[in-house]
């Protein structure tokens, strides 16, 4: 288990002061502000992590899509993730509470191969394994609800839609970075945070277009996902439809939990795929009912098909290149088996805020003679050195967790005691981390 203690951060810089005031929807800037450009392919997955909420640093979000919409379904945030949101802005944590269902438990597992009608089990024998989430359970919600609520916190003039990055270069005076977009427009900023997802253009600029780490690899897992109206799910599953449940089995597992005040049941069915990904650059494709039935044919009696891609096989050697840094899926895309991918993006923002505020604090003193540009290089480098190991560790243990609940770990297979112990060894350092 790596040691991720964060040391005291000293970044020696110098900057100008400003007394400008911004709109009521934004935090007023303080002395020694930077200007950042924050590029998102999908704001819906991380508008709550950074951007307008960096208190000392004006930020503009450049979103690739032309309209904010969410094609995903459920998202889970733990108690520690909520604490990070509160650190970024208490309004974010409050927003999460408003739209989410609070689940007091973590994994509630049932043998998916069982031929009995598990709905008839007694309450004390309902689950084959129960693993309580450390730190107060999880907040479960629909991504679209979370996006809609959080986007209201963003000042409209700080959000630019339809902006796909083409190039990022240094300006003539070396003070600003110049970002050119595919629509022919451009922008300038002291620093760039690239959070443009698994197919990150900014990531290829940071790591190099010929670097294998610039491209995700198929993790040989696929998933069928859908939202089921609770009025249709309840007659089939009974009281199980209103619980968070994982059905485990050889080579496949199903995760289900209620959303939107139990109006819907979020269902994600994962299965092992030993072949290669055959859909070119697409990471999702349409699937039919026969595909789903065949993949889970060994399960007891009792959409859409995305492939699972991650960065485990070719991890980045650095999240940072000068005054450009990566976060969220662009830095460490992971499989969803620990339900922590979005939360690690929140951690990214938390660490970035910490190092940038340290930089701003030193800049405010104005007695070191170091430029804002050097300050950003040191700040982003510190973010990389203290956080990358943990973020890449998540990618590793998430893939293993997927194998664990599919009974694919040879020394454990379907042994519930072994599954519990292995899960505990990974979850504790993941969630109980400051």
Question: What single DSSP character describes residue 196?
Answer: -
225 noted as active-site residue: yes
pLDDT value, residue 287: 58
- The alpha carbon torsion through 54, 390, 146, 380 (nearest 10 deg) reads 20
Number of domains in the chain: 1
68 vs 200 pLDDT, higher one: 200
Q: Is residue 20 part of a domain?
A: no
Q: How many residues does the chain have?
A: 434
Residue 387: is its pLDDT beyond 80? yes
pLDDT tens digits along 44-81:
233 333 433 444 567 888 988 888 776 667 888 988 89
pLDDT value, residue 433: 82
Residue 308: is its pLDDT beyond 70? no
Nearest to 328 by CA among 72, 80, 30, 47: 47
Q: Which long-range contacts (CB under 8 A, 24 or more apart) does 57-61 make?
A: 57/29, 57/33, 57/356, 57/360, 58/22, 58/29, 58/33, 58/34, 58/158, 59/158, 60/36, 60/158, 60/159, 60/160, 60/187, 60/189, 61/154, 61/158, 61/159, 61/160
Q: Is residue 24 part of a domain?
A: no
CATH number at residue 290: 3.50.50.60
Nearest to 391 by CA among 287, 312, 274, 273: 312
> Global pTM?
0.78
* Catalytic annotation, pick one of 225, 339, 388, 390: 225
Q: Is residue 9 part of a domain?
A: no
pLDDT tens digits along 349-383:
999 989 998 888 878 877 667 788 888 999 999 99
Q: Is residue 21 part of a domain?
A: no
pLDDT band at 385 (very low <50, low <70, confident <90, very high): very high
State the residue range of the domain holding 109. Answer: 36-431
Residue 412: is its pLDDT beyond 90? yes
pLDDT mean over 228-238: 90
Q: Is residue 16 part of a domain?
A: no
pLDDT tens digits along 162-193:
999 999 999 887 788 999 999 999 999 889 99
pLDDT value, residue 367: 62
pLDDT band at 21 (very low <50, low <70, confident <90, very high): very low
Q: What percent of the chain has pLDDT over 70?
A: 75
């Amino acid at each position: 288990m790596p040691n991720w203690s964060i040391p005291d951060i000293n970044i020696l810089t110098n900057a100008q002061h400003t007394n400008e005031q911004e709109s009521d929807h934004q935090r007023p800037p303080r002395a020694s502000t930077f200007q950042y450009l924050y590029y998102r392919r999908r704001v819906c997955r991380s508008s709550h992590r950074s951007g307008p909420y960096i208190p000392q640093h004006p930020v503009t979000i450049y979103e690739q899509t032309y309209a904010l919409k969410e094609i995903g379904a459920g998202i889970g945030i733990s108690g520690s993730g909520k604490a990070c949101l509160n650190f970024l802005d208490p309004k974010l944590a409050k927003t999460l509470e408003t739209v989410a269902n609070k689940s007091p438990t973590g994994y509630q597992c049932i043998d998916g191969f069982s031929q009995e009608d598990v709905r008839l089990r007694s309450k004390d024998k309902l689950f084959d394994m129960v693993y309580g989430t450390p730190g107060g359970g999880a907040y479960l919600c629909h991504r679209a609800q979370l996006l809609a609520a959080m986007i209201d916190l963003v000042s409209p003039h700080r959000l630019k839609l339809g902006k796909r990055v083409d190039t990022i270069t240094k300006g003539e005076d070396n003070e600003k970075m110049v970002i050119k977009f595919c629509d022919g427009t451009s922008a300038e900023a002291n620093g760039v945070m690239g959070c443009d997802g698994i197919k990150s253009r900014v990531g290829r600029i940071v790591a190099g277009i010929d670097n294998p780490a610039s491209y995700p690899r198929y993790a040989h897992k696929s998933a069928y996902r859908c939202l089921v109206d609770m009025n249709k799910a309840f007659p089939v599953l009974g009281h199980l439809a209103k619980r968070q449940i994982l059905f485990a089995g050889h080579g496949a597992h199903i995760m289900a939990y209620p959303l939107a005040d139990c109006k819907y049941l979020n269902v994600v069915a994962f299965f092992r795929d030993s072949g290669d990904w055959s859909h070119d650059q697409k990471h999702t494709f349409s699937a039919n009912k026969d595909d789903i039935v065949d993949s889970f044919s060994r399960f007891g009696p009792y959409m859409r098909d995305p492939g699972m891609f991650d960065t485990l096989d070719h991890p980045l050697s650095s999240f940072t290149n000068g005054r450009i840094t990566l976060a969220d899926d662009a830095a460490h895309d992971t499989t969803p088996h620990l339900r922590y991918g979005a939360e690690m993006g929140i951690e990214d923002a938390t660490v970035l805020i910490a190092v940038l505020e340290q930089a701003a604090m030193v800049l405010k003193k104005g007695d070191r003679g170091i430029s804002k540009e050097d300050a950003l290089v040191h700040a982003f480098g510190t973010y990389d050195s203290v956080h990358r190991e943990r973020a890449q560790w998540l990618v590793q243990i998430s893939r293993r967790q997927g194998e664990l609940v599919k009974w694919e770990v040879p020394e454990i297979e379907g042994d519930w005691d072994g599954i519990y112990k292995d899960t505990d060894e990974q979850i504790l350092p993941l969630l109980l981390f400051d």
